[in-house]
Every structure is written in structure tokens, then in C-alpha cells.
């Protein structure tokens, strides 16, 4: 039970009082306000919140893909300096349609200057690990949505980053495929124990995967509540039927539903 420490002395990801403002024609739009979050090494943190609460914006700021208006975000580098700090799994199927699956998975190492033989070996290892080995030379348009998102996930893992940032990676999938990939994700995470920041709409997904679930408020996004999920690891899909799981879900939903209603009413 010691694996789920929420905050340690030097967090892997440390976000301090982060805000995001967008200038618009009629004044400044505040997407995220005074948001702080510490993620420990090897921790799996899920962020849930109503649509437009700025959770994806926050993730992109952690990834360095979006500028930070106020505050600071730091990712602590590991011992190997060559390792990338973060890799993002995007919401859409952001694997490149013009590259074969194996080229897609090998893309991160390729950009870091890893030799052809070595990076293709790494890519093949990951493709085999999720059962896509025989599709290595296929192009993305030849495979299903679920397979594409698997490739998207292992493209990040093959890059071996310090932290993995996942932006609603399963949002576009149908319910059945979603469950299958959730299970796969659990299995891979138990084996690699990467630090993960995971954005999702789905409470079930958040409770199933996360060590902690962070709830955000509707726009502007603020920290609303933190739930520590003390379900034992390794977890399985079967746990979603347990009473404790239901309890967590009900607890979070109670807070979230009020926020969702507020967000809907605020919309014109």
C-alpha cells in the first residue's frame, strides 16, 4: 500500500499556480486558474472535469506545446540525460498516416538520433508486445481505430520518456474496444511503472487506472478535489464491479455532476 503516496519531497511533475489566459476580441479568456499539482515518480494520476475545463490545455502546457501565462511547470529529469522528458498520446489518432506502423513507433528514437537498426528493434518489440507485430509494414489507413490508438500509445512508450502524458487517448473508441485497451494499458503500466498524467472524460476509466483522481471545475479550470484510489494493484477490469469501485465512482460523480450542470448552464 505504499505505492500510492500522493506527494513526495521532489515530485516528478511539479506544477505551481499555473494559469492560462487567452486574449480574445472581447477581453481575456481564462482557461485555467491557479492550478497546482504534484505527481510522484511512478504515480498514475488522472484528471477529470467537465468539457472545456482546461484539462487538455494543462496537459499541453506540461508537454511544452502551449505557453504558460502564469506559474511554472517542471518535470524532473532522470539519471539518463538522453531520455526525453515527456511523450504525449494525443486524443485523436495522431500517428502519421504517411508512415508505416513500425516507422511511426520508431519516430521518437529516430528524432533523437538512435540508429536505424536499434530503433526498428525497439519498435518491433513494442508492436509485438501489443500484438501488432504482423502489421508492422501496414499504413494507418489499413487498420482499425483501436489498433491506431494502440500504435499511438506504444509510439510514446517506445520513446521511453520520463513521464507519459495521455490526453483522452481512448475518447474516440467504441465501448468494447475501449475496455480491451484499458486492460492492456493496465498490464503495460504494471510492468513499466511509468509516471503518467492521464486526462479522461470517463470516471470509470479514471478510477480504474489512477492512483489519484484530480477533479477540476468548469471554466475557468481550478482544482476542485483530489481522490486517492486505494484499490489494490494489479488491477483488472473485473474490479469495476466491486463495491469499493462503485463507492469511489459515486463519490466523484457527486462532486462532478454539480460542476457539469454548472458548465452546461454557463454555456450560451
Under the binding rule (CB under 8 A), the answer on residue 260 touching other proteins is no
DSSP 134: G
- Judged by CB under 8 A, which of 19, 56, 57, 86 binds other proteins? 86
Helix, strand and coil in the chain, % to nearest 5: 40, 25, 35
Under the binding rule (CB under 8 A), the answer on residue 253 touching other proteins is no
Under the binding rule (CB under 8 A), the answer on residue 149 touching other proteins is no
Q: Which three cell numbers stand for residue 210?
A: 489512477
Binding mask 163-202 for other proteins (x = CB under 8 A): ----------------------------------------
27-36 contact pairs (CB < 8 A, 24+): 30/219, 30/220, 31/57, 31/219, 31/220, 31/221, 32/57, 32/58, 32/61, 32/220, 32/221, 32/222, 33/220, 33/221, 33/222, 34/71, 34/222, 35/71, 35/216, 35/221, 35/222, 35/223, 36/71, 36/223
Under the binding rule (CB under 8 A), the answer on residue 99 touching other proteins is yes
Distance in Å, CB of 254 to other proteins, minimum: 34
Binding mask 52-81 for other proteins (x = CB under 8 A): --------x--xxx----------------
Q: Which three cell numbers stand for residue 16?
A: 505551481
- Judged by CB under 8 A, which of 11, 50, 54, 140 binds other proteins? 140
Please return the burial class of 258, using the count of CB atoms within 10 Å of its CB with bins 0-12, 13-18 and 19+.
Answer: middle
- Judged by CB under 8 A, which of 90, 126, 198, 245 binds other proteins? 90
Stretch that binds other proteins, among 104-112, 170-178, 222-230, 243-251 (CB under 8 A): 104-112
Instruction: Determine the size of the site formed for other proteins (CB under 8 A).
Output: 27
DSSP 234: S
Positions that interact with other proteins (CB under 8 A): 60, 63-65, 84, 86-88, 90-92, 94-100, 107-108, 111-112, 139-141, 155, 159
Amino acid at each position: 500500500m505504499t505505492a500510492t503516496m500522493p506527494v513526495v519531497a521532489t515530485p516528478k511533475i511539479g506544477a505551481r499556480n499555473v494559469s492560462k489566459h487567452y486574449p480574445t476580441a472581447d477581453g481575456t479568456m481564462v482557461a485555467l486558474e491557479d492550478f497546482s499539482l504534484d505527481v510522484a515518480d511512478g504515480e498514475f494520476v488522472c484528471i477529470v472535469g467537465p468539457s472545456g475545463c482546461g484539462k487538455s490545455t494543462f496537459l499541453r502546457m506540461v508537454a511544452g506545446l502551449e505557453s504558460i501565462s502564469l506559474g511554472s511547470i517542471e518535470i524532473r529529469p532522470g539519471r539518463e540525460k538522453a531520455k526525453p522528458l515527456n511523450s504525449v498520446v494525443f486524443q485523436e489518432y495522431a500517428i502519421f498516416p504517411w508512415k508505416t506502423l513500425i516507422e511511426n513507433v520508431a519516430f521518437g528514437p529516430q528524432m533523437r538520433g538512435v540508429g536505424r537498426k536499434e530503433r526498428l528493434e525497439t519498435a518491433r518489440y513494442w508492436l509485438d508486445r501489443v500484438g501488432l507485430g504482423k502489421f508492422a509494414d501496414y499504413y494507418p489507413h489499413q487498420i482499425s481505430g483501436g489498433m491506431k490508438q494502440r500504435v499511438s500509445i506504444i509510439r510514446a512508450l517506445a520513446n521511453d520518456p520520463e513521464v507519459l502524458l495521455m490526453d483522452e487517448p481512448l475518447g474516440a473508441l467504441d465501448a468494447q474496444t475501449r475496455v480491451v485497451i484499458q486492460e492492456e494499458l493496465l498490464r503495460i503500466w504494471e510492468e513499466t511503472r511509468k509516471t503518467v498524467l492521464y486526462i479522461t472524460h470517463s470516471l470509470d476509466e479514471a478510477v480504474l487506472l489512477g492512483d489519484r483522481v484530480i477533479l477540476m471545475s468548469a471554466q475557468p479550470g481550478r482544482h476542485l478535489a483530489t481522490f486517492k484510489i486505494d484499490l489494490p494493484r494489479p488491477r483488472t477490469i473485473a474490479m469495476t464491479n466491486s463495491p469499493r469501485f462503485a463507492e469511489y465512482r459515486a463519490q466523484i460523480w457527486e462532486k462532478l455532476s454539480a460542476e457539469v450542470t454548472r458548465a452546461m448552464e454557463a454555456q450560451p
